[in-house]
Amino acid sequence: MDELSIKALLQDLKNSEESVRDRATTELWRTWFNQKGDYGMQILRRSQVSLSAGDVRHALDLLTKLIAQSPDFAEAWNRRAVLHYTQGNYKKSIHDCEIVLKLNPVHFGALHGLGLCYAALGEYTSAIGAFRRALEIQPFALVNQKLILECTARLS
């Protein structure tokens, strides 16, 4: 997908119509997952199947190898960040989220994940910052609005 199409989808995330926002969100995720074509998508799927089956080690190995082969594949880094988060490895997840954001600064999923990690570590100011950055891209994301309120309450 070309840069103009991405910009249009990012604008659609700010549309008052929920159906327009949902379509844009779905299309952005599809674009990110398909960045490396069928091969990259196949490895991401295999990793998810392994994770769903409880084989965390194999899922991690698949993602780590994919990252080594395609270090510019933001979604591979993001999937590994999610895996680290689910395992309570918040600092590793933060590291991977930061790489995602270097590769794809508008990756609202990585910003949300970054906020979740900081919140889990009790770093509420950093969490709020990440959730606010996600809201700049996806202003109607109620989950991030709610998490900002929760983190703000914990600071009080």
Q: Report whether pLDDT(83) > 80.
A: yes
Q: Pick from 40, 21, 20, 43: which is nearest to 31 by CA?
A: 40
pLDDT band at 44 (very low <50, low <70, confident <90, very high): very high
Give me 88's structure tokens. 């309570």
pTM (2 decimals)?
A: 0.95
Class of the CATH domain delimited by 3-155: mainly alpha
